Amino acid sequence: MKKIIPLLILAAVMSGACNKSTNLSEDDSAIEKKIDKLLSEMTLEEKIGQMNQYSGNSAITGPLKARPEQIEDLKKGWIGSMLNVVGATNTREMQKLVMENSRMKIPLIFGFDVIHGYKTIFPIPLGESASWDLEAIEASARVAGSETAASGVHWTFAPMVDIARDARWGRIMEGAGEDTYLGSLIAVARVKGFQGKDLKDNNTIVACAKHFAAYGAAEAGRDYNTVDISDRVLKETYLKPFKVAVDAGVGTFMNSFNELDGVPATGNGYLVNSILKKDWDFKGFVVSDWGSIGEMVNHGVAKDKYEAGNLAANAGNDMDMESNSYRDHLLQLVKDGKVSEKTIDEAVRRILRIKFKLGLFDDPYKYCNEELEKKEVMSEANLNMARDVSRKSIVLLKNNNQILPISSDVKTIAVIGPLADSKKDMLCNWTAMGDPNDAVTVLEGIKAQVSATTKVLYAKGCNIADDSVTNFAQAVNIAKQADIVILAIGEAGNMSGEAHSRGNINIPGRQEELAKELFKTGKPVVVLLMNGRPLTIPWLAANAPALLECWFLGTQSGNAIADVVFGKYNPSGKLPVSFPYSVGQIPVYYNHKNTGRPKLSDTDFYVSRFEDIPNEPVFPFGYGLSYTTFSYSDITLSDTAMGMQDTLAISVQVKNTGKFDGEEVVQLYIQDLVGSVTRPVKELKGFKKLMIKVGETQEVKFKISTSDLAFYTKDMSFKAEPGDFKAYVGTSSSDCKEKRFTLK
Ligand code: NOJ
């Protein structure tokens, strides 16, 4: 069976060859005319109103409503959008205030952080990215979109498409990891999933590519911190996922909190006006991050919010989330001639355009349907989808002596660890309306799948983050009685996410010591690692008999983990991010440069190396095992050379040599050996996830063209340079076959 990989499609999208947003359909032209008319009738105050976004009362224990002081502004039509107001009933009530009282009757757009599910919570985005399964990722966003839409909300502040190479940064959990190519494909899948076929459908929502831009490059991984990177790195590494999101039709963008080259992103005209709106021809609107306009005062580029509002509006920021700078100063800024009415009109046009595309002018209440809400939210189909995506996200890191999978009629299982029966931790951060009580823990999932005669023992062993070891004895005691031990350890669910940077990214508290005590019993121990970021686990990686990276999998955590533990599902995930040996290596990523003194052996001295730690991560990007084994043939190339207009076919035979049917992610990397500027040691350029039956061999074929070899050359033009290249195909970034070819 042959698999052809459509590399050309992404390459075209990446290079900007196709651009959906430039072609205005008939529908679009009609919308523009309607906007012209509205703009001609609106007062300046009403226009500025559209540019204001406020948060409702985000009480997490109940329905989310408007703050009383906002009611009057809503009635006057001085608010264009609300966030954190959800539910068919709440949103209808608030929409009514606008539709029944305001002069222009312009519907509100409701936004909410639906990051990995609305109420049916899916794996954290980083974990889901480990599936390398674009269909599954799109389906997950589709479910999240349908539940959100059924609950009255039109807009999610997702996907976060920030590339992140620093695991100290808590928000690494929200993205797709360290790689631009994988991250770009995942960005597109998520945008398509949220936005569906047509925003006018009543189960689709507008997506938001965030945070624009380079937020993931915060110095020391400390959230909100300074970013200082070259324009080349910005364009090559950080901007591409945003660009492909535009080409996939994403409706909105959100600015980032960080500065870039001394200019905060919220007031950065180079990013927003020049790159996003002009070069990429983005037609949607840009919302600031929470309060980020006002934060330009702290950044030290504005004296006060009047100046900050001026900077933001003129940089192309269309909507102010919660800083009140536009509400309080934009009118005066126009009167003072600092912000032109044209700029205001352009911002309002963009906001109205999305409202039209959502069909809100046809029916402002179309998302407010309590019956649909009841039917859709946490439906059986959605829960099943979450379970499937969750098990696909698990990565098998180690499996000595094929401990896994275990038989479901084993006599006694000991389930141990502070994360083994903790509902609240399973959802991690950004849980939208997710309810921890709905989450299935490991203990529950295991109990649900064992035979009637299997005894399941449980002990917590210790807490996640304190120093107490008093409960170790009980854990060791039940381990001794068991045939197999399942140990769930890692971070608490709230240790990653916004404002949750960590200086040490080890397993907190005494959990590793608990593992040590359990290993000493000589019982087979399967370690389930739960974490919102890569952790530094050299000791655990060397000593755990079996290790499953489970991230935080959401509502269906325990069921999905049990599916993998008992072999109902053969793990197929691959790491979307490197696992550092220690924080001293950070940033550590597979597509680094060679340097002038690469370390080629352990005896080299004056080379790029550390005195005390290896250069390599503990687990590299693209790594992940299966219960079966795969063997790769040598690479076959269609030719040893290709011309600028040619394509080159690269193929390998992959055989399932083990005892289980299984999926493998076959990965293609390319290295440009000599360039006008230095090039990475290898870069992902294609992959294919395929099911291979026991004993079966499949041919996997990739096609590459010149655009796959292009980069920002010395003069910053994006093109391929003639010369020698290496193609690598394999099972991870560090385990590949290779072959050379030449671009003429
Ligand atoms: C701040 C976060 O940076 C952003 O990602 C989020 O969408 C907004 N707050 C709204 O909650």
Residue 65 pLDDT grade (very low, low, confident, very high; cuts 50, 70, 90): low
Domain extents in the chain: 405-585, 630-743
**For range 137-161, the mean pLDDT:** 98
> 569 CB less than 6 Å from ligand 1?
no
Q: How far apart are CA 536 and CA 726, in angstroms?
A: 31
Show the tokens assigned to 676.
């006008």
> 712 CB less than 6 Å from ligand 1?
no
Which residue, judged by its Cα, is nearest atom 4 of ligand 1?
289
Closest approach atom of ligand 1 to CA 174: 5
**For range 47-75, the mean pLDDT:** 79
Closest approach atom of ligand 1 to CA 158: 7
Q: What is the pLDDT of residues 338-353, one digit of tens each?
A: 999 999 999 999 999 9
pLDDT value at 8 more than 90: no
> 498 CB less than 6 Å from ligand 1?
yes
> 702 CB less than 6 Å from ligand 1?
no
pLDDT value at 18 more than 80: no
| pLDDT (0 to 100) of residue 25 | 75
Helix H segments across 239-379?
240-247, 295-299, 305-315, 325-335, 341-357, 370-376
Closest approach atom of ligand 1 to CA 257: 3
Mutate to test the pocket of ligand 1, among 54, 64, 113 (most ligand atoms within 8 A of CB): 113
Q: What is the pLDDT of residues 233-272, one digit of tens each?
A: 999 999 999 999 999 999 999 999 999 999 999 999 999 9
Closest approach atom of ligand 1 to CA 84: 11
Q: How far apart are CA 514 and CA 79, in angstroms?
A: 54
> 290 CB less than 6 Å from ligand 1?
yes
CA 703 to centroid of ligand 1, rounded, Å: 39
Q: How far is CA 585 from the centre of its chain?
A: 23
Q: Is 289 a catalytic residue?
A: yes
| Structure-derived torsion over alpha carbons of residues 327, 329, 333, 339, reported in degrees to the nearest 10 | -40
Q: What is the pTM of this model?
A: 0.96
Which residue, judged by its Cα, is nearest atom 7 of ligand 1?
157
Residue 22 pLDDT grade (very low, low, confident, very high; cuts 50, 70, 90): very low
> 113 CB less than 6 Å from ligand 1?
yes
List beta partners, residue 741.
725
Which residue, judged by its Cα, is nearest atom 3 of ligand 1?
289
pLDDT value at 440 more than 80: yes
pLDDT value at 16 more than 50: no
Cβ contacts of 296 within 8 Å, gap of 6 or more = 264, 266, 267, 302, 307, 308, 311, 312
Among the options 73, 179, 289, 320, which is catalytic? 289
Helix or strand holding residue 647 (H, E) = strand 647-656
**For range 138-147, the mean pLDDT:** 98
> 223 CB less than 6 Å from ligand 1?
no
Say what percent of the chain tops pLDDT 70. 96
Please determine, looking at this structure, whether the domain spanning 630-743 carries the CATH number 2.60.40.10. Answer: yes
Q: How many CA atoms lie within 13 A of 55 on its CB side?
A: 12
- Share the mean pLDDT of the chain: 95
CA 290 to centroid of ligand 1, rounded, Å: 6
> 210 CB less than 6 Å from ligand 1?
yes
Residue 12 pLDDT grade (very low, low, confident, very high; cuts 50, 70, 90): very low
Which residue, judged by its Cα, is nearest atom 8 of ligand 1?
290
Which CATH number is 405-585's, of 3.30.70.260, 3.40.50.1700, 3.40.50.1100, 3.30.1130.10? 3.40.50.1700
Show the tokens assigned to 360.
């809100």
| pLDDT (0 to 100) of residue 69 | 78
> 171 CB less than 6 Å from ligand 1?
no
Residue 15 pLDDT grade (very low, low, confident, very high; cuts 50, 70, 90): very low
Give the three-class secondary structure for 425.
helix
| pLDDT (0 to 100) of residue 24 | 59
**For range 360-381, the mean pLDDT:** 97
**For range 384-390, the mean pLDDT:** 98
Which residue, judged by its Cα, is nearest atom 10 of ligand 1?
290
Helix or strand holding residue 73 (H, E) = helix 68-76
Contact 361, 107 (CB under 8 A): yes
pLDDT value at 132 more than 50: yes
